[in-house]
Structure 1
């Protein structure tokens, strides 16, 4: 993931599907763009909200980390 721009938690929080058109989530410090996913409409996916680090929350998800292979990594959470 070298070469990706770094973003703060505050910058990530703005990509929540409400404040800016981008919908981003972080997982293990990598930020993914989930804007095009119909499952993240309006920045919400089941009980999860975009614009934040979901690493801890996804430990109990019914899917594995491989779900992120479908999305483009756009940054690193600093």
Structure 2
């Protein structure tokens, strides 16, 4: 079973407050810190430490992109 994190706990993993760079999508939290596209917790106009589920529609990719990232937990 995966650990659970609140939105407040996720917000601290933004690449600024802590080293972790995490984002959430459909209730699953992913570690995107190894991606060069998420350097310093920013990816184009998106910031880490947030639930980006509603923003995927504007992305040039689909949700298959999350398959390359490590799942670290679930968003409560």
- Normalising by the residue count of structure 2, what TM-score does the alignment of the two structures yield? 0.98
Alignment of 1:54 onto 2:52? yes
Task: Please give the alpha-carbon distance, in whole angstroms, between the structure 2 residues aligned to 1:73 and 1:6.
Answer: 11
Q: Give unmatched runs, 5+ long, in structure 1.
A: none
Identify the match of residue 36 of structure 1 among 34, 37, 42: 34
Q: Could you list the runs of 5+ residues in structure 2 that have no partner in the other structure?
A: none
**TM-aligned CA deviation for residue 9 of structure 1:** 0.2
1:5-61 alpha-carbon deviations (Å, 9 max, x no partner): 000000000000000000000000100000111000000000000000000011221
How many residues of Structure 1 are paired with residues of Structure 2 in the alignment? Answer: 76
Residue in structure 2 matched with residue 27 of structure 1 by the alignment: 25
Deviating 4+ runs (over 2 angstroms): none
Please, what TM-score do these two structures have when normalized by structure 1? 0.96
User: Is residue 75 from structure 1 mapped to residue 70 from structure 2 by the alignment?
Assistant: no
CA RMSD of aligned residues (A): 0.4
Aligned to 2:12: 14
